[in-house]
Structure 1
Amino acid sequence: MKWAIIGTWRMSLEGIIAATEILKHGGDSGDAVEEAVKIVEDFPLYKSVGYGGLPNENCEVELDAAFMDGDTLSFGAVGGIRDFKNPVSIARKLSHEKFNIFLVGSGAEEYAHKNGFERKNMLTDRAKKIWEKRVKEIYEKNLSPYDGHDTVGVVCLDKKGHMTAATSTSGLFMKKRGRVGDSPICGSGLYVDSQVGGAVATGLGEDIMKGCLSYEAVRLMESGIDPQTAAEKAVFNFSEKLRQRSGKAGAISLVCINNKGEWGVGTNVEFSFVVATDDSMPKVYLAHPENGRVICEEASEEWLQEYQRKITSPV
């Protein structure tokens, strides 16, 4: 049986490299997905996820995460959780519960504490400086406060045919306290069915959740459509619907894998993602929409170096 894993954005590369080691030795997709997302959550320079994630308007880091098992359709999620490391692991723990599988705010924090998850101040000095700089820009230049909404999402198929998916994000930068986007919502930010495939989304959550796009991509695959066409149809059709109904569509990107290990990408903006399969080492790709299709190409060395320079540059 083939294995495959796909993740949103360049930031998922290190996590997918680690997950690949689990998968190629016959490990479980749930462990692989959790490990991949945890590595992104733990890296302080990825400013839209976990430790170092950008704070809300009150300078508080509120995190959302979800986990889904494609064999059982079990699902767990947390929203607006503060001061706990690795919310994806808390979400996975919740997916084993029969009731109360989606907890938010203080309820999620109480559950995490009772179940022994590690407390940690997730606000870094770097993230605080970025927040302070943004507050100043908003006041001096009358700029929109909102910027940055990149979710790490991972879908995985292991050698036994078991599929899982997970997401994690700090959400919209400068968001209102308590705001939750699509990422932890089943069917919107993620969906997976081991008999069909799985998908995860990233972008403007306020728009993505209106279309339940991850479920839509899986539904299209279930109808017999290949993953690439399913991802394109899900993103392009709904983007056009939003433009017709409200005049515009936010940034929307989606990655998916079917139960054969074939993958696809849909996006209405330029977007980076990472893929690894049993016959291909982890690689970073760039995708962009062009004439109703999505064009994908491997990221150049120059692009990768510029990415590294950008995330490590001083605030």
Structure 2
Amino acid sequence: MWGMIATWQMARDGVATAAQELQQQGDAGDALVTAIKDVENNPEYGSVGYGGLPNEHGLLEMDAAYMNGNTYGIGAVAGITDVKNPITVARKLSHDHFNSFRVGAGATEYAQQAGFERVNMLTPAAVTAWQERVAEVAGKNLTPYDGHDTVGVVALDQQAKMVAGTSTSGLFMKKHGRVGDSPLSGSGFYVDSEIGGATATGLGEDIMKGVLSYEIVRLMKSGLTPQAACDQATYDFDRRLKQHYGKAGAFSLIALDKQGNWGVATNCEFTFAVATATQPLTVYTANPGPDDSTTFVVTAH
């Protein structure tokens, strides 16, 4: 049995390549890095890696995380700059018992000393988008924040190893040093090879309030299917957040269990990609169901 699920349609090509690795007895960690690097390297995806969304000062600060479900090893970076593939830095850090979560200049320095490729990740198109947004905000008195799509992946290989990982440039026009949920264990990601894993995408400030990825894994451990766990965790927290906090930003969760079963829940329209030993690569669109407690999923067109 093997499988992979990833957030957003932008992950489709990466999942296609990674699925071939998994089908051929490949390691889940290698396959996950393959899938995420494909998104990080594509400047067409303006929320992850090369060509990602700049912060308020026009700087591209990136976040990424990796977790090994066999060992619980976690590596993460936040606010890293000028590094081609943050997910590879996060994976290397997951082998370190100490100092495995690096931020800002410390993360960038670590990557450079460890020999990771240094690249200017800002593209002309991203700079232009930032300049236009600055002018639009100033001229129309708008909120600057727009766009926060994280690529999140959960993978299962034929040796029953599971991993989870995330990568993002975070909230467009975010304040310098702002970090969302993506590199935070339990919020942006969590995985246990004996149970399953989950990752999140959306407004990090709200996702981290509910520690939703860990909650989904906990619910799967209690016996719920990935779909039931996603539904319960996501919609229950969406209701409670609106009740206690007054509002809820957009967020979506995906999950995969140790048998290759998957689930998804969202409070907005959301696309995701899935490939398993029993299912060819498929991209789906998910929406909250009419009862706000289940998820309506259709094949994307």
Identify whether the pair has TM-score above 0.5, normalized to the shorter chain.
yes
Cα distance in 2 for residues equivalent to 1:235 and 1:11: 22
- The percent of aligned pairs where both chains have the same amino acid is 57
Pairs within 5 Å for 1:70-81 = 70-81=69-80
Residue identity opposite 1:278 in structure 2: A
SS at match of 1:134: helix
1:101 equivalent to 2:97? Answer no
| CA distance in 2: counterparts of 1:41 and 1:281, whole angstroms | 24
Please name the residue that 1:3 is paired with: 2
RMSD between aligned alpha carbons? 0.6
Give the structure 2 partner of residue 218 of structure 1.
217
The corresponding residue for 2:284 is 285
Q: In the TM superposition, what whole-angstrom CA distance separates every residue of 1:179-212 from its partner, at most 9, and x where no partner exists?
A: 0000000000000000000000000000000111
The TM-score with structure 2 as length reference comes to: 0.99
d(CA) in 2 for partners of 1:102 and 1:77?
Answer: 5
Q: What is the DSSP-based 3-state SS (H/G/I as helix, E as strand, rest coil) of the residue aligned with 1:187? A: coil
Cross-structure match for 2:23: 24
Cα distance in 2 between the residues matched to 1:133 and 1:173: 12
Aligned amino acid, residue 243 of structure 1 = K
Where do 1:1-315 residues align within 5 Å? Answer: 2-290=1-289, 291=291, 292-300=293-301
State the number of aligned residues: 299
Aligned-partner Cα distance in 1 for 2:123–2:217: 37
CA displacement, residues 85-111 of structure 1 (integer Å, 9 cap, x when unaligned): 100000000000110000001111111
Q: Distance in 2 between matches of 1:230 and 1:280?
A: 21
Q: C-alpha displacement at 1:21, in angstroms?
A: 1.1
Amino acid in the other structure paired with 1:114 = Q
Could you tell me the TM-score, scaled by structure 1's length? Answer: 0.94
Q: Give CA deviations for 1:8-65 in whole Å, capped at 9, x if unaligned.
A: 0001101101101110000000000011001100000100000000100000000000
Mapped to 1, the partners of 2:31 and 2:203 lie a distance apart of: 26
1:214-271 deviations in whole A, cap 9, x for unaligned? 0000000000000001001111011111101011111010000011100000101110
Offset at 1:143? 1.0
What is the alpha-carbon distance in structure 1 between the residues aligned to residue 254 and residue 18 of structure 2?
Answer: 17
SS of equivalent residue, structure 1 residue 207: helix
Amino acid across the alignment from 1:37:
I
Q: Deviations over 1:89-140 (max 9, x none)?
A: 0000000011000000111111101110000000000001111111111011
SS at match of 1:265: strand
SS at match of 2:234: helix
Give how far 1:282 is off.
1.2
User: Aligned letter for 1:184?
Assistant: P
Instruction: Tell me, in whole angstroms, the C-alpha distance in 1 between the residues paired with 2:189 and 2:251.
Output: 13
> Structure 1 unaligned runs (5+)?
301-315
Gaps in structure 2 of 5+ consecutive residues: none
Shift of 1:279: 2.1
